[in-house]
Amino acid sequence: MSGSLPPRVVVVRRASELDDLLARHGTRAAAQWYLRARGRDLAEVIDRHEALQAALTAVAAAVPAEWRRGTVDRDDLPRFLFGPEDVVVAVGPDGLVANVAKYLGGQPVVGVDPEPGRNAGVLVRCTGDQVAALLPAVVAGTAPLRHRVMVRATLDDGQELVGLNEVYVGHPSHQSARYLLDVTGDGRPRRERQSSSGVVVGTGTGATGWCASIARGRPTGPALPAPQEAALCWFVREAWPSPVTGADLVAGRLDGTGALELTAESDGLVAFADGLEADRLTLRWGQRIRLDVAPGRLALVEP
């Protein structure tokens, strides 16, 4: 990285459960009463909150004094402008890295796990104590990076979004969505008119999340891709066979230039990525959306 300005480290965080409880109930005493009525103890919630705060403190202390700093909460990501030379530090569960990845264009991401052993550690691979040594290496371009494949969704009017784990296309309330499904690019173009509770298209990273859950119920489904493999898996949820809709094209893989296209045959369908439902594309009747591989959009720093 180069430039006249010092590097900027942007710390991404999300509210802890204690933060959410206090926002809802006002005081710790009220939150404790609420949890006790449900067989839980506030002490556990406080311990997890303090673990997050300790990790955030360690990250803040690791940033050199002359560097620029920024902080953004998960809920504000759609409104935050990342610079091309930012170093992003996501402190939280694996899903937080997925949440921020869709707003980046190749900036290096350091995933910090505030609770090692509780999170899977697929994307948050560092501890707060490792950040001080990693940041100079990242800026110098010597830190080891792993580039993760993402899934891209493009509307026929040019609107686009990307997801690190998966993109969902369907009705926002997950009720029946009607569309025409086209599978292309694998030498065997296929088409089926469907009514289902939505389509999930995932990456190799997402193969450890929602797609893993769906695949467990599909013993004859496609082989899930590896995290860095330029391939996607896709699943149709609860396809309904009827005189005018089919349920044969319900799962598959997209390798290389393969793509999945859906043409909306009901109004108000949406596409969103990685659980961020508020940041979505909307399909009107007759609009087409294309889902394919977006390689190398996330550069994950290895410890």
Give the per-residue pLDDT at 3: 53
* Total count of domains within the chain: 2
Please, which pLDDT band fits residue 4 given cuts at 50, 70 and 90?
Answer: confident
Could you report the per-residue pLDDT of 92-121, keeping only the tens digit for each?
Answer: 999 999 999 989 988 999 999 999 988 888
Question: Average pLDDT for residues 200-228, to the nearest whole number?
Answer: 89
**Whole domain around residue 263: which residue ranges?**
150-295
CATH number for the domain harbouring residue 260: 2.60.200.30
Do 205 and 178 reside in the same domain of the chain? yes
Q: Which of 94, 123, 143 is the last residue of a domain?
A: 143
Q: How many CB atoms lie within 10 A of CB 106?
A: 12
Question: Average pLDDT for residues 63-85, to the nearest whole number?
Answer: 94
Do 124 and 245 reside in the same domain of the chain? no
300 falls within a domain:
no
CA 114 from chain center: how many Å?
Answer: 18
Do 28 and 94 reside in the same domain of the chain? yes
| The two structure tokens encoding residue 23 | 């926002």
* Residues 271, 167: Cα–Cα separation, whole Å: 7
Expressed in percent and rounded to 5, the helix, strand and coil fractions of the chain are 25, 35, 40
Mean pLDDT, rounded, of the chain:
92
274 falls within a domain:
yes
Question: Average pLDDT for residues 190-212, to the nearest whole number?
Answer: 93
Q: Which of 103, 124, 143 is the last residue of a domain?
A: 143
User: What percentage of residues in the chain have a pLDDT greater than 90?
Assistant: 77
* pTM for the predicted model, two decimal places: 0.86
* Residues 73, 80: Cα–Cα separation, whole Å: 9
Could you report the per-residue pLDDT of 154-198, keeping only the tens digit for each?
Answer: 999 999 999 999 999 999 988 899 999 999 876 677 999 999 999
Do 127 and 185 reside in the same domain of the chain? no
270 falls within a domain:
yes
Give the per-residue pLDDT at 79: 92
